């Protein structure tokens, strides 16, 4: 990231936190259902739940979350992470993988906004953020978005703008972050990406049952 972009991102974050502090008040927005009940099977994908270390949850600041690895019948893997924030007024803002992944040794070799169709709920097409990551000879594909207060958001900057707007007009700053990761097997990036999209479509109605609109 260039110095200019870093300065702009820092300024936007500081402005967001200042505005949220100025209009702070108690919020009582929760998931529709606790993530402890999130299904371990989605379509034909079978999942195994995992947990981060306590210190990572402390850094994330989430109020509820879910982490699991799902496997398809043909042995394809997708890792799902959902982080829910009841309120983002006190400094616990949603973390972007563009900041977190490089810190764990993965280099971002590509970032692009992708248009993905085939979802059950409107709009039929959604813009999601795709990252290609590399660590040595390993590669991963990441597909993520912000699902907050009834919106699907594919921009860190717009996420913060909507956050301030909704805090003022709706007295809400709850929000969710959804991330899918698939390992690239045998150098086949296209197949890994197609599996992420398939899983995202199956995940959509499940998310809608858990996340407040």
Length of the chain: 213
pLDDT (0 to 100) of residue 114 = 93
Domain count, the chain: 1
Ranges of residues in the chain with a pLDDT under 70 are: 1-7, 9, 11-12, 14-27, 90-91, 102-103, 121-123
Is the Cβ–Cβ distance between 178 and 202 less than 8 Å? no
Give per-residue pLDDT as tens, 24-50: 555 678 899 999 999 999 999 999 999
pLDDT (0 to 100) of residue 116 = 92
First to last CA, the chain: 33
Structural domain boundaries enclosing 83: 3-210
pLDDT (0 to 100) of residue 40 = 96
Burial 19-42 (b: 16+ CB within 10 A, else e): bbeeeeeebebebeeebeebeeeb
Q: Residue 159: is it exposed, middle or buried by C-beta count within 10 angstroms (0-12/13-18/19+)?
A: buried
């Amino acid at each position: 990231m260039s110095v200019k972009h870093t300065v702009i991102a820092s300024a936007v974050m500081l402005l967001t936190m200042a505005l949220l502090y100025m209009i702070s008040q108690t919020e009582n927005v929760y998931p529709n259902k606790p993530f402890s009940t999130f299904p371990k099977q989605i379509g034909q994908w079978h999942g195994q739940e995992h947990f981060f270390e306590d210190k990572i949850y402390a850094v994330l600041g989430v109020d509820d979350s879910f982490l699991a690895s799902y496997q398809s019948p043909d042995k394809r893997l997708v890792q799902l992470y959902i982080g829910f924030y009841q309120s983002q007024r006190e400094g616990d803002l949603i973390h972007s993988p563009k900041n977190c992944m490089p810190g764990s040794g993965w280099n971002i070799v590509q970032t692009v906004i992708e248009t993905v169709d085939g979802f059950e709920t409107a709009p039929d097409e959604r813009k999601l953020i795709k990252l290609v990551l590399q660590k040595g000879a390993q590669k991963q594909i990441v597909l993520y978005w912000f699902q907050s207060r009834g919106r699907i958001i594919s921009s860190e900057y717009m996420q913060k703008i909507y956050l301030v707007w909704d805090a003022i007009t709706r007295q809400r700053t709850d929000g969710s972050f959804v991330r899918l990761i698939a390992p690239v097997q045998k150098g086949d990036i296209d197949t890994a990406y197609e599996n992420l999209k398939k899983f995202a479509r199956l995940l959509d109605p499940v998310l809608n049952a858990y996340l407040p609109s």
